[in-house]
Amino acid sequence: MKQLILGGVRSGKSRLAEARAHASAYPVVYVATAINGGDAEMEARILRHRAHRPSEWRTIEEPYALGSVLLANDSCDRCLLVECLTLWLTNLLCMRPDRFDEERRSLCDAVTRFNGTLILVSNETGLGVVPLGELSRRFLDASGELHQTLATLCDRVTLTVAGLPFELKGQPS
């Protein structure tokens, strides 16, 4: 089962993803994409996420090569939870723009080939105004295109708003 969980900041998407990973009854591999670049607030977020995760979950920190990580950890008796795709996009667009197209293709290919339980978490950012800056517009375009592609590849797509899940595709298991 491949799932995509979308929502705004503090919408409840992480809590939902973690609950679904736990409910899978499989060992969980948590793939974290955040990078602490000396930002105290981001470091606090990362620490809060780490403290909240069950100690038996294995964590892999990978800011760029998600496709490779997914395929290397694919197993029918394991659940991978990726948090979060919009941070991953930001990492690539800001720090490794030369790898953006290659890594995006690699991720989509890995999702297509993935055989285990996969939960992808991402911020839905396309519900607001079009920003003025070129990089911001490129980010919104890239995240919207990625979400559309992943929605076609996933069995289940959920949008979270105010802590409530709205099923967009697929049925609850």
Tokens of 135: 């990089």
Active site residue 49: yes
Q: How far is CA 97 from CA 15, 106, 133, in A?
A: 30, 15, 16
How many Cα neighbours within 13 Å face the side chain of 34? 19
Give the integer Cα–Cα distance in Å for 126 and 141: 8
Tally of CB atoms within 10 A around 89: 23
> What are the catalytic residues?
49
